[in-house]
């Protein structure tokens, strides 16, 4: 079985590629680093020729409009067309829990456009929506120093470790296409403002944090249901405290990421 991971050198992609290789699969990490550009199509068809499964974990280099919409639209259109020509039997696309509830945000409108393209395609598919990654919680911390007050939403979140998402994606690669949406989330819910404050203290940032329901999140106002999954979601194993302890001790490494977290709004 040949599996192509588009975005295979990113945070989730690199973990997924390593896990699939450890299971003995023929895996190709497709990204600009390997000569594949999903937006222009450069090297794409040759990368997908002979592929049985394609996993799209790409992300936009910019989250501003119109660039973000152009990226997800063009990238998805080219990936889906190449997958159909190659006769791919399963196309998995990674998206975000709450996408349809965050349409005041340009990033989430772009993710919604991506999802609609996958759903309308003739390629057998599974859409996977994950909650916020533990790895990007620090990016939510607004810049500043001293005693500046930090305003953050008190909305509930249920974040997940990127490695746990990679595990679930690796399992779904060999499953039958669901032609539906599958949600993945961490095992616990937190108030966003409290979780970020926990991370701040770990970084010895003792600025006061105010729970502010009016604090925006990539242009959207959150409530307790905006970013949390349905009851049918797949629940991962790793708890945030255990992950954070591992990260701070150096036991967990985070690959360099060239863009901010789309799930983190800096105000």
Average pLDDT over residues 230-251: 89
Instruction: Give 50's Cβ-side CA count (13 Å radius).
Output: 7
**Residue 258: per-residue pLDDT:** 37
**Residue 165 pLDDT exceeds 80:** yes
pLDDT tens-digit readout, 59-68? 998 888 999 9
- Beta strand ranges found along 70-226 (DSSP E): 90-96, 125-130, 150-152, 156-157, 181-185, 190-191, 209-211
- Beta strand ranges found along 34-108 (DSSP E): 53-56, 90-96
Average pLDDT over residues 133-160: 87
Question: Would you call 24 exposed, middle or buried from its count of C-beta atoms within 10 A (0-12, 13-18, 19+)?
Answer: exposed
Which range among 7-16, 66-75, 257-266 shows the weakest confidence by mean pLDDT? 257-266
pLDDT tens-digit readout, 202-235? 888 889 999 999 998 877 899 999 999 999 999 9
Predicted TM-score (pTM) of this structure: 0.90
Which range among 85-94, 99-108, 144-153 shows the weakest confidence by mean pLDDT? 144-153
**Residue 246: per-residue pLDDT:** 86
Three-state SS for 139-166 is HHCCCCCCCCCEEECCCEECCECHHHHH
pLDDT band at residue 262 under the 50/70/90 scheme: very low
pLDDT band at residue 81 under the 50/70/90 scheme: very high
In degrees rounded to 5, what are phi and psi of residue 92? Answer: -110, 135
pLDDT band at residue 252 under the 50/70/90 scheme: low
Average pLDDT over residues 161-171: 97
More confidently predicted of 87 and 63: 87
Distance CA 151, CA 266 (A): 10
pLDDT tens-digit readout, 124-143? 999 999 999 998 887 778 78
pLDDT band at residue 254 under the 50/70/90 scheme: low
Q: Which domains does the chain have, with CATH numbers?
A: 2-249 (3.40.50.720)
% of the chain residues with pLDDT over 90: 77
* Chain centre distance of CA 238: 17
In degrees rounded to 5, what are phi and psi of residue 217? Answer: -135, 95
């Amino acid at each position: 079985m040949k599996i192509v991971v588009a975005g295979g050198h990113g945070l989730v992609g690199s973990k997924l590629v390593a896990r699939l290789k450890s299971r003995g699969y023929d895996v190709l990490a497709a990204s600009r680093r390997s000569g594949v550009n999903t937006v222009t199509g450069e090297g794409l068809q040759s990368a997908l020729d002979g592929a049985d499964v394609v996993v799209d974990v790409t992300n936009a280099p910019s989250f501003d409009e119109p660039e973000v919409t152009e990226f997800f639209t063009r990238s998805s259109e080219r990936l889906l067309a190449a997958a159909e020509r190659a006769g791919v039997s399963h196309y998995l696309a990674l998206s975000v829990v709450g996408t349809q509830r965050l349409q005041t945000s340009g990033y989430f409108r772009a993710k919604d456009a991506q999802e609609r393209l996958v759903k309308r395609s003739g390629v057998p598919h599974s859409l996977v929506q994950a909650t916020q990654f533990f790895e990007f919680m620090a990016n939510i911390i607004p810049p500043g120093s001293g005693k500046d007050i930090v305003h953050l939403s008190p909305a509930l979140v249920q974040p997940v470790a990127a490695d746990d998402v990679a595990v679930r994606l690796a399992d779904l690669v060999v499953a039958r296409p669901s032609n539906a949406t599958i949600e993945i989330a961490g095992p616990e819910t937190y108030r966003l403002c409290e979780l970020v404050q926990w991370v701040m203290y770990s970084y010895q940032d003792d600025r006061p944090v105010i729970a502010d329901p009016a604090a925006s999140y990539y242009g959207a106002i959150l409530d307790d249901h905006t970013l949390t999954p349905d009851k049918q979601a797949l629940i991962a194993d790793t708890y945030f405290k255990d992950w954070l302890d591992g990260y701070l001790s150096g036991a967990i490494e985070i690959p360099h990421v060239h863009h901010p977290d789309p799930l983190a709004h800096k105000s």
